[in-house]
Amino acid sequence: MAAPTKGPRLGGGPAHERHMHANLAASLITHKSIKTTETKAKRMRPVFERLITFAKRGDLHARRRVLATIGDKTVVHELFTEVAPLVALREGGYTRITKLGFRKGDNASMVQIELVLEPVTPKAKSAKKSAAAATAVAPVEAETVVEEPTEAPVDEAPVDETAPEETEEVATEDAK
């Protein structure tokens, strides 16, 4: 028999944990920020991020899969119409967990888990590509600018590389 990989269940069996995650996710969608224990928030985060990934897809099958988890049509509608467009450009990390301290009664570590709804800006992928393109284009432009002034006029004969050395020697002999 396979051993459980996630440790003991939070407050009961697996069914209770699924319902607890669904209720926490529904509250997080409704209120955009909730206060809970650290363990519950860390265990709920992957479940919730999967729901948002389904909501970003936006098709009927994704809506039915989210409904199978949450079960409240108004919350699922809010997830698909309000939350999903706000996180459409974000590739993950839809939640933020902030530690608040310890609960007075049982000294449990309390956290605030909230949706990250700030607009995302493009990161290093596009910056690296544009920087590489700029460096590839810049030397070509520099070479063309350097070549134009060094070209000899049509009236003059081409100058050999050894010619400047001879002219320097001649100039030093004339100076004596």
pLDDT tens digits, the chain, 176 residues: what are they? Answer: 666 666 667 778 888 999 999 999 999 999 999 999 999 999 999 999 999 999 999 999 999 999 999 989 999 999 999 999 999 998 889 999 999 999 999 999 999 999 998 888 876 665 556 566 566 655 545 454 445 555 555 666 656 555 555 555 555 555 55
The number of distinct structural domains making up the chain is: 2
Alpha-carbon distance of 62 to 59, in angstroms, equals 5
In a domain, 1, yes or no: no
> Any idea what the CATH number is for the domain that residue 45 is in?
3.90.1030.10
- The range of the structural domain enclosing residue 160 comes to 124-175
In a domain, 95, yes or no: yes
pTM of the model: 0.65
Same domain, 67 and 129: no
Torsion of CA 98, 99, 100, 103, to 10 degrees: 130
Question: Residue 116 carries which DSSP code?
Answer: -
